């Protein structure tokens, strides 16, 4: 009957098998569960499904021959969304499943809206990189992890050279194009698990997890070359852009220091790179133990 009205049907001959199916990746989100089943009954199955912390909701329609109000309450308290008593009319089953589908569509829209709000709260609107607050939060988390694991963390504080001149000569819309393309190049120049954030204006902060000084030096040069090696294509034509970088490696140690100390050293190194002629990497004079 369900196949006839357009559903793809997956069946289970006992409650335990049904629980396994509903717990698997890509599980059905609309379920028709009998109350009486071997190994695990309907209310027990409902409780197991609801104990999961999945982002995607499973709508449960409980099928039962029980008619008492107390039984209905037990089923709904266990986690069922609706119930249908046997015997039932096929049209009623179809109508109740359609209700479930409407609720699931609404739930999907709410999840989508929540994720969109979460993205906007943690990402820069222009470049889609982590915003300042988010990249600093990630840095704090990475420093805490590195202290526990006794591993290194490296920071690259990057600044586009003469960016004000780009805005003055070509306009802010072109300047926005440059920021967007530079952001993509920065992401492409680091590993997938490294974090790139827009620190402010034309400044970017890159957190290199588990990166010792030797590796940091090569990665910093890769980042610099990724920006300066090829002109940035824009609506008004290609523009040559370079980047100055201040770099620091934070080695593992016994004491956790505030992130302001590391950012200050990276910023000092960046200032030296600017003063020395730009388009270069300057490394902090000393490593800092955490």
Global pTM?
0.74
Residue 286's pLDDT is 46
- What is the overall mean pLDDT for the chain? 91
| 83 and 138 belong to one structural domain | no
Give the pLDDT band of residue 287 (cuts 50, 70, 90): very low
Residue 23's pLDDT is 86
| 248 and 174 belong to one structural domain | yes
- Residue 96 sits in a domain of what CATH number? 3.40.50.2300
| 115 and 220 belong to one structural domain | no
| 24 and 141 belong to one structural domain | no
For residue 264, the enclosing domain spans: 132-289
What percent of the chain is predicted at pLDDT more than 70? 96
pLDDT at 180 over 60: yes
Last residue in a domain, options 70, 85, 119: 119
> How confident is the model over 225-265, as pLDDT tens digits?
999 999 999 999 999 999 999 999 998 754 467 889 899 99
**b/e code 135-166 from CB counts within 10 Å (16+ = b):** bbbbbeebbeebbeeebbbbbbbbbbbebeeb
Positions annotated as catalytic residues are 202
- Within-domain flag for 7: no
Nearest to 213 by CA among 184, 180, 249: 249
Q: CA 142 to CA 148: how far, in whole Å?
A: 10
> How confident is the model over 20-40, as pLDDT tens digits?
999 888 889 999 999 889 999
| 161 and 68 belong to one structural domain | no
| 182 and 231 belong to one structural domain | yes
- 161 against 284, higher pLDDT: 161
What integer is the mean pLDDT of 187-194?
A: 95
φ, ψ of residue 70 in degrees (nearest 5): -65, -40
| 63 and 144 belong to one structural domain | no
| 106 and 193 belong to one structural domain | no
- Within-domain flag for 64: yes
- Residue 208 sits in a domain of what CATH number? 3.30.70.270
| 92 and 212 belong to one structural domain | no
pLDDT at 290 over 50: no
> How confident is the model over 58-117, as pLDDT tens digits?
999 998 887 777 888 888 899 999 988 888 888 999 999 999 999 999 999 998 999 999
Number of domains composing the chain: 2
| 259 and 218 belong to one structural domain | yes
Contacts of 123 (CB under 8 A, 6+ apart): 129, 130, 131, 134
Pairing of strands 153-160, 30-34: unpaired
| 196 and 85 belong to one structural domain | no
pLDDT at 124 over 80: yes
| 91 and 222 belong to one structural domain | no
Residue 209's pLDDT is 93
- Within-domain flag for 5: no
């Amino acid at each position: 009957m369900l196949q006839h009205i357009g559903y793809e049907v997956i069946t289970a001959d006992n409650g335990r098998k049904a629980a396994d199916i509903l717990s698997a990746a890509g599980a059905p989100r609309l379920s028709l569960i009998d109350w009486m089943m071997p190994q695990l009954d309907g209310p027990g199955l409902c409780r197991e499904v609801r104990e999961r912390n999945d982002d995607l909701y499973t709508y449960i329609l409980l099928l039962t021959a029980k008619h008492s109000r107390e039984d209905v309450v037990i089923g709904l308290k266990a986690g069922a969304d609706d119930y249908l008593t046997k015997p039932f009319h096929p049209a009623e089953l179809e109508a109740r499943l359609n209700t479930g589908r409407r609720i699931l569509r609404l739930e999907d829209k709410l999840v989508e809206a929540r994720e969109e709000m979460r993205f906007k709260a943690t990402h820069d609107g222009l470049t889609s990189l982590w915003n300042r607050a988010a990249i600093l939060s990630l840095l704090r988390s990475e420093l805490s992890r590195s202290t526990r694991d006794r591993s290194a963390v490296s920071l690259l504080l990057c600044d586009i050279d003469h960016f004000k001149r780009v805005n003055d000569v070509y306009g802010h819309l072109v300047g926005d194009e440059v920021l967007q393309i530079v952001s993509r190049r920065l992401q492409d120049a680091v590993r997938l698990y490294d974090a790139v954030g827009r620190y402010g204006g034309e400044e970017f902060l890159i957190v290199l997890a588990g990166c010792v000084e030797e590796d940091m030096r090569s990665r910093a040069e890769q980042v610099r070359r990724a920006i300066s090696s090829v002109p940035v294509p824009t609506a008004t034509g290609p523009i040559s852009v370079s980047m100055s970088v201040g770099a620091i490696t934070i080695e593992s140690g016994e004491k956790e220091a505030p992130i302001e100390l590391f950012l200050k050293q990276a910023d000092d190194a960046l200032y030296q790179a600017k003063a020395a002629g730009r388009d270069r990497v300057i490394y902090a004079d000393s490593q800092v133990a955490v």
